[in-house]
Amino acid sequence: MRLRVWLRAARTPFLTGAAVPVLVGTLAAWHDTSDFAWIRFSLAMIGALLAHAGANLANDYFDHVSGNDAANPAPTPFSGGSRAIQEGLVTARQVLGVSLTLLFVGGCLGLWLNFVSRGNVILLLGVIGFFLGFFYSSGPFRLGYRGLGEVAVGICFGPVIVLGAYYVQTEALSLSAGLASIPLGILIAMVLLINGLPDHDADEAVGKRTLVVILGKRRAAALYRVLLACVYVSTLALIGLRFLPLPCLVVLLTLPLARRAWVVSARKFDRESELLPANASTIALHALVGVGLCLGLAADRLF
C-alpha cells in the first residue's frame, strides 16, 4: 500500500514525459552510428525517470505550501496535483524528502555518465534540466508561477533530454537530434497547457500566473490548437528537409487522435469534466508521436 501511495504521489503515469525523449535521443544515436550502449541507455533512462519523479514530488510540495492544491475544490486525474498530501496519505515533509532523494540519485547517475563521457556536456544539460524541473514551482524563480512553465518544461523534456540521451550514446551532439525534439517539446508543453485549464480558478486565487491565467481559458485553448498544428507542421518540415527520415511519416497515424483533442478543446475548454478526453488524448499523443519517431528512425536504419 505504501508503494502505491508513492507511485501515485510521483504521478508515475506522467513519467512517459521523460521516457519518450530518452528513447528518441537513443534511437537517433543508433540511427546515426549503428552503436547501442545498453548500460548507458539504462542508466540514462533510470536517471531521467528518477529526476522526473523527483520534480513531480517537488511540484506537489511547493503547490501545497503555496495553498495552490488546497484551493482547487475539483481536481481531475490530470490536474490539481496528486492529492496525496491533501488526503493525509503522506506528509509534506516526507514528500520533500523523497523528492530530494530521487533528484540526488538521478543526479548521481548523471554525474557518472558525465564522468565516463568526453567533456562536460552531460553535466551542463543536467544542470539545465534540474533548474527547469525543480524551480518550476519552487523559489526563488517559480517559473510555473510566472507564465514560463510551459516553455521551461518544453525545453527540459524536449531538446535537453533528447540531446542528453544522444550524447550519452555518441559523445557528440547532433543538429538533427535537437530538431527532432521539437515535436516532443511542443507536445509536453501542450500537456501542461491543457491540464492548466481546470486549474484556472485555483491558480488565479493563489497568484500562480500560468499561461491559462494570463490568456484566459478561451485564448489558452486556441493556443493549444495552434501548438497542436505546429506538431505536425514541424514534423513534416523536418522530414521534408531530411532532418528526419521518410519512415517518420508514420507519426501521421496519430492524426485521428489529434482531431479528437482539437474538437474537444475547442468545444469543452471551460467544462472540466467534459475536457478530460482532450487531456488524455494529449498525453497519448506525446507518447505515440515519440514512438512513431522511434519506429521511423529504426525502420530507416534497418531497411
Q: Helix or strand or coil: residue 69? A: coil
Return d(Cα 74, Cα 272) in angstroms, integer. Answer: 9
pLDDT of 74 above 70: no
Distance spanning both ends of the chain, measured CA to CA: 47
- Backbone torsions φ then ψ of 293, nearest 5 degrees: -65, -40
Number of Cβ within a 10 Å radius of residue 38: 8
pLDDT tens-place string over residues 16-37? 999 999 999 999 999 999 999 9
Return d(Cα 90, Cα 69) in angstroms, integer. Answer: 15
pLDDT of 295 above 80: yes
CATH number at residue 274: 1.10.600
Q: Helix or strand or coil: residue 79? A: strand
Spatial contact of 67 and 206, defined as CB atoms under 8 Å apart: yes
More confident residue, 142 or 236: 236
The predicted pLDDT at position 245 comes to 96
pLDDT of 1 above 60: no
Q: What is the reported pTM? A: 0.94
pLDDT tens-place string over residues 168-224? 999 999 999 999 999 999 999 999 999 989 888 888 888 888 899 999 999 999 999
Q: How many domains does the chain have?
A: 1
Domain of 83? 2-302
